[in-house]
Structure 1
Amino acid sequence: MVRAETAPRARHLRYTLWAFTVEGNNSVGALAGAARRDPSRGWQRLDVTAAARRWTAGGARGPLRLLLDCSGCLGRVRLRLGGGQAARPLLRLRLAPPPQRRRRSLDCDAASRGSCCRQTFYVSFRALGWDDWIVAPEGYYANYCRGACAPFQNYHAQVVEAARLERAACCAPVRFSALSLIYFGADANIIKRDLPEMVVEECDCP
């Protein structure tokens, strides 16, 4: 994404943004992506997926450098390539996470039937209609806990434990993680914020 500021007299100006890769000797490389102006936004989106894939396939030995050009701008469009953090170009990459080994009792699809476990639950920002102000991610796995806790060996032990905790043991989250959110703030500035305890990572019977 790049912020394009159009002069007041050129609000209806039509133009196309182009992105090219830059080689090591500063020569222009292959076309990385293009996008026609979206008049509803100051921030313009360019899809550079193909260039990013070529970069990673080559081992990502050096930085991915892109050159922006504008057809039809006629000197009346300013591309913000520097300045304050909120106005700088933003490159968003979606990477496949490496497989992780988890305890079999963590997720409900691997846990004993009916026992306390973590149920995966995906929240789609597009389905909520929030994708017009949330840049990334498109959604996230919030997850929740469900299932029963193992019963105590006898009724006396259950009463004593419940009195000590002032509540009965129940399946509940015991570990969370944060969610990194990138969104449009005031004056169409881009803001990144880490929201704590948004993802349920593990459930147990505390």
Structure 2
Amino acid sequence: MAARPGPLWLLGLALCALGGGPGPRPPHSCPQRPLGARERRDMQREILAVLGLPGRPRPRAPPATARLPASAPLFMLDLYHAMAGDDDDDGGGAPERRLGRADLVMSFVNMVERDRGLGPQEPHWKEFLFDLTQIPAGEAVTAAEFRIYKVPSTHLLNTTLHVSVFEVVQEHFNRESDLFFLDLQTLQAGDEGWLVLDVTAASDRWLLNRDKDLGLRLCVEAEDGHSVDPGLAGLLGQRAPRSRQPFMVTFFRATSSPARAPRAARPLKRRQPKKSNELPHPNKLPGIFDDRHGSHGRQVCRRHELYVSFQDLGWLDWVIAPQGYSAYYCEGECSFPLDSCMNATNHAILQSLVHLMKPDTVPKACCAPTKLSATSVLYYDSSNNVILRKHRNMVVKACGCH
């Protein structure tokens, strides 16, 4: 029998056997048996390694009085559906185009909010702080956005507003902070909706100072240059409903591969056939005509169902979507003659021919994936930031003989 792809087949035997529950289920052909506590822990550890996570995130549950969906998870869920709909399509809108270049998307919830406006002649501003310590190493920023919701202003009718965002950098303690301009948007006081400000230019500094919080200052001016209170302009802050609270979203592209491959992803050792001094019959090539290797009753190389369930692993307290996904795996014979349905490579055909003549030294061709695609996982980290990560080569699309 051809060798099975290590991680997918091992996960298939274990995850198909996990206990039941609502949601999509694995096919009935999967072997059904409950996993022991140690087996479950080992499987969880291996899947976390495949997902590139050092451990199981443990987010804080929101208070019982705040069960309404928050703005960042709602936005990230929309991104997840866009990414899951077509991982290879850049899409038409700006978020979709950025998704096409991103392997990782993180949202950051505003931790601290400060307002200033001491008098009619004093400039007004609103500041926000974001904890960036959860940004993983080896990631390059492709885009970063600050999103704040605006409602129509009842105090400023028919007024054009200029909204600017600055990065607040405090190089030394007890010294005035420096401001670095990031973006400017012009809008009308009566506008309503999400205001998106580009803060990508701040990424070089925050990646060098991951131990420091990112500070953003928002300033609003009327067309005559007078400072306007952001609250009077209709820009909502922490006191807004949860679905309209400000947040930041950052798109990353991996610049280096993970240092450790999970144990299950390492190739399985091929079992060497027993040596034999017997030569094939001069008028008969083994594997073509004899019943033992014949085509009757053999299962050719093809794709099989494999369902990975996050729900059955008990991870739905931190995994937002999906509850599970179909990973599939490849299994079956690659014996000569290789049919067209086996999607065999030219090398596999030659290897199969040589195997007939030298079965003790040349193994059969292997049934393995010929096409893989990505899958996306949306989850909370331990700081309650919402993360959307695209995991490449996670789903078998086609199998063949190699």
Q: TM-score, normalised by structure 1?
A: 0.50
Q: Which has the higher contact order (CA 8 A, sep 6+)?
A: 2
Structure with a larger share of its residues in strand: 1
Bigger share in helix: 2
Q: TM-score, normalised by structure 2?
A: 0.28
